[in-house]
Amino acid sequence: MGADGVKRLWRATINSWHGLVAATQSEQAFREELVALAIGVPLAFVLTADVGKRFALIGTLVFILIVELLNTAIEKLSDRITLDHDPTLKRIKDMGSAAIFLSLLLTGAVWLWALVERFWPVLG
């Protein structure tokens, strides 16, 4: 990677940081999901010693953040295009919301699996 590649990588990193800051400042859902990540990372280490399972637990939380960022970008862009009611834009926003919903379901299923696996012997 040459000097231009390093500069491009640095600018991309700065732009990404700005996006994270903007989402944190403007989106309550993103802040709540950051809290879930902050709680979930140490909890993943308590729930399992298996590195793969920890990766799955933490990875699903990060996945929610990724989908939330994409959904927020879609919503912000849609609002920039028009604030008038537009059925097509509503469907697009609903699809973004559905993506968040599915990422939450996935995360819930993975965490439930880990919790049951960890505590089921205790319950039985």
Residue 80 within any structural domain of the chain: yes
pLDDT at position 3 is 81
Residue 9 within any structural domain of the chain: no
Looking at 51-86, list the stretches that DSSP marks H as alpha helix, in order from N- to C-terminal side.
51-81
pLDDT at position 122 is 65
118, 47 Cβ separation under 8 angstroms = yes
Alpha-carbon gap, residue 38 to 31, rounded angstroms: 11
Residue 72 within any structural domain of the chain: yes
Residue 81 within any structural domain of the chain: yes
Residue 2 within any structural domain of the chain: no
Q: What is the mean pLDDT of each run of 10 residues along the chain (124 residues)?
A: 88 96 96 98 96 97 98 95 91 97 98 92 62
Domain range holding 62?
Answer: 28-123
Number of structural domains found in the chain: 1
Residue 101 within any structural domain of the chain: yes
Q: Could you list the active site residues?
A: 68
Residue 12 within any structural domain of the chain: no
Task: Give the pTM.
Answer: 0.89
- CATH number, residue 108: 1.10.287.3610
Residue 13 within any structural domain of the chain: no
pLDDT at position 83 is 85
What burial letters (b/e) apply to 29-48, b meaning 16+ CB within 10 Å? ebeebbebeeebeebbeebb
